[in-house]
């Protein structure tokens, strides 16, 4: 069977790397694609050049196959579907942010979900669910407070 791309979600890393990435969902794996580095100094002085870099990179990557996405940058990597135990979509009550957590047999991955490429604005919860539900079905866990938002 040919590997097909099913959808993508734009995410922000929750470590000190400050990366904007795409989680690209295929029939076989989740490909984590580096888009750009977010420089806190740019944001603090109102410089939106990171936003232009993000849009330029998203245009460059559109239409690439899963294998081409993976090879596009040495920082890109894949999480095989066979290793994924659970995918969680959560939102702390005190924040507007939504988080995607992928649990595998050996590791926990976590990102802040920000949008759906190529649309630049922040996505709503139901838009994330519409992408995640068909891909992960029974492996998807959605925090009850997110339903109906």
pTM above 0.75, yes or no: yes
The predicted structure's pLDDT at residue 49: 73
Closest CA to 88 of 132, 134, 123: 132
pLDDT in tens, the chain (149 residues): 789 999 999 998 887 677 889 999 999 999 999 988 876 666 566 666 777 888 888 888 888 999 999 999 999 999 999 999 999 999 876 677 889 999 999 999 999 998 888 777 778 888 999 999 999 999 999 976 665 54
Q: What's the chain's length in residues? A: 149
């Amino acid at each position: 069977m040919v590997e097909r791309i099913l959808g993508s979600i734009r995410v922000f890393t929750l470590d000190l790397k400050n990366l904007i990435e795409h989680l690209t969902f295929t029939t076989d794996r989740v490909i984590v694609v580096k888009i750009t580095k977010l420089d806190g100094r740019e944001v603090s002085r109102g410089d939106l050049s990171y936003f232009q870099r993000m849009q330029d990179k998203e245009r460059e990557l559109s239409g690439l196959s899963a294998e081409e996405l993976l090879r596009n940058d040495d920082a890109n990597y894949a999480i095989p579907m066979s290793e994924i135990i659970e995918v969680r979509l959560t939102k702390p009550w005190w924040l507007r942010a939504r988080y995607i957590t992928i649990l595998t047999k050996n590791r926990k991955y976590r990102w802040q979900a920000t949008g759906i490429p190529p649309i630049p604005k922040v996505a709503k919860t139901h838009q994330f669910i519409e992408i995640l539900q068909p891909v992960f079905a029974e492996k998807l866990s959605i925090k009850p407070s997110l339903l109906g938002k």
